[in-house]
Amino acid sequence: MDSRSAAPAYLVVDGLVKTFGADRAVDGVSLAVPRGRFLTLLGPSGCGKTTTLMSIAGLHRLDAGLIRVGDTVYTSVADGIFLPPEKRDIGMVFQSYAIWPHMTVAENVAYPLEIRKVDRAEIGDRVAEVLRLVGLAPMAEKLATQLSGGQQQRAALARAIVFRPRLLLFDEPLSNLDLKLREQMRVELKRIQREVGITSVYVTHDQAEALVMSDEIIVMSKGRVQQVGGPHDVYARPANRYVSDFIGVANLLDGHVVAVTAPGRGEIEVGPAETRVRLPCRLGAGVAAGATAVLSVRPENVAVVREPPAGPHLPGEVLQTVFLGNSLDCRVRWGAFEWKVLARPRERLHPGERVYLQPDPEHSLAVLP
């Protein structure tokens, strides 16, 4: 397996269930985060990621499950334990930043220290230190309403880390920022998290964000965990159709595995009866011989040629091409299926041309449906 599971888990979430009326928002979610690592919960709206985060924070009560940080049990439905949010020692950055408009930046950041009855002089020092860390030192005496979105974001982060919490939670903090600022803040947030080393759980629906920032990603859908893995794993070795489709772009074809040629490799038969073809591929976890599976091939891993090549290939007709500068985004029709192919501009493909597609066996994956 991977090295991650060797490190002891600091945050443990086990069997979370949360229902709102008839709706099972979180349906048996479990996760484990080693100390100091950055975990992202990734999924579309309604997948249960925010509910999970809120449950860890103690802002939602659970119907079933266990939440533990280190040796402390925060929530245990079975044992009737529930620690209120203010006792959980968790820093949280909200989507709307939630900077209090009637206080200055310094007062906002000092608030958690005042609650903990830290000595006045020490408060001053620590607030200054953390404002320097997030790059807001000159803004200390300004009111929240005088700050831009990005600055409020940093202030929210400063407030969340100033009291050195055990855990840091982020609820889609960058979704209200414009694109350029978002890209900038992604890197900034990761840098700061690395520097202070607090275990972090981050919620987002933006896969680019997840891929850039995370040590580990949990892909969720409809209240369940679809896959747990590092950015590269989740991208290159998706566990099932959903993850393939959600992360990046993928060509997904239904078929079934007809042969296993080596450990983790085999052949999958795809296509309707008239144009059935066998393609060599890698086998994802849990995919056995004879099983129904989905062939997942990323557009950049499909070769396009004008002459029929040696080996398994698919004849097709170019439907349209879009010039993207460094690549050519093509749609190629094969039977009733439309392949997405990323070709090099020098190939000079045109709509109407007859071409032959050859998916790279090293990067074709048969995944669970």
Partner 1 sequence: MRTAAPPSGLGVARPARWLGRARGLWTQESVATLLASLVVGAAVLLPLFTLVVSSFRVLDALGFDTQWGLDNYRRLLADRIIRKAFLNTLVISAGATLLATALGVSLAWINARTNCPGRDRLEPFNLIPFFLSPFVGAIAWHNLAAPRTGLLNSAARDLFGIQTHVLNVDNLLGVIWVTGIFFTPLVYLFVVGSLRRMDPSLEDSARTTGAGLLRTTLTVTLPLVTPGILSGAIIVFVTSAGEFGVPFKLGAPYGWETLTTQIFSKAVGDDANHYMGATMSMALGVITALFVWIQQRVIAPREFTTVTGKGFRPNVIDLGGWKWVALAYNVAYILVAVLLPLGCLLVVSLHPVWEGRIIASDLTLWNYQKVLFFWRPDAIRTATNGVLNSFILAFTGASIAMALSLVVSYMIHRTRGAGARLLDLLCVIPIGFPGIVLAMGVLVTYIKTPIYATLWILLLGYITRFFPYGQRSVSAVMLAISEELDQSSRMAGASWLTTLRRVTIPLLKPGIFAGWVLLFIIFLRELSISIILYTSGTETLSVGVYYLANFENEPLTAALSIAQTVALLACVVVFRRVAGREALTA
- Taking the chain, what is the end-to-end CA distance rounded to the nearest angstrom? 23
Instruction: Verify binding: residue 78, partner 1, rule CB under 8 A.
Output: yes
All residues at 6 or more sequence positions from 337 whose CB lies less than 8 Å from its CB, including other chains: 253, 271
SS3 state of residue 186: helix
Name the one range near partner 1 by CB under 8 A: 57-65, 268-276, 313-321, 361-369: 57-65
Helices within 217-366 (DSSP H only): 231-236, 241-246
Options 22, 101, 273, 352; binder of partner 1; rule CB under 8 A = 101
- Pseudo-torsion of CA 80, 83, 84, 85, nearest 10°? -130
Closest by alpha carbon to 339, among 293, 280, 299?
Answer: 299
Residue number with CB closer to partner 1 (59 or 236): 59
> Quick one: DSSP state of residue 308?
P
Instruction: Verify binding: residue 148, partner 1, rule CB under 8 A.
Output: no
Options 17, 64, 83, 291; binder of partner 1; rule CB under 8 A = 83
Instruction: Return left, alpha or beta for 223; rule: phi > 0 is left, psi -120 to 50 is alpha, else beta.
Output: left
Residue number with CB closer to partner 1 (205 or 237): 205
Options 9, 25, 29, 66; binder of partner 1; rule CB under 8 A = 66
All residues at 6 or more sequence positions from 120 whose CB lies less than 8 Å from its CB, including other chains: none
**Which two tokens mark 34?**
């080693």
Name the one range near partner 1 by CB under 8 A: 153-161, 172-180, 236-244, 361-369: 153-161
User: At closest approach, how far in Å is the CB of 195 from partner 1?
Assistant: 21
Instruction: Verify binding: residue 92, partner 1, rule CB under 8 A.
Output: yes
Contact 91, 198 (CB under 8 A): yes
Instruction: Verify binding: residue 342, partner 1, rule CB under 8 A.
Output: no
Options 38, 163, 202, 339; binder of partner 1; rule CB under 8 A = 163
Name the one range near partner 1 by CB under 8 A: 123-131, 152-160, 221-229, 351-359: 152-160
SS3 state of residue 228: strand
Contact residues for partner 1, defined by CB under 8 A: 57, 59, 61, 66, 71-73, 76, 78-92, 94-96, 98, 100-102, 111-112, 115-116, 156, 159-160, 163, 169
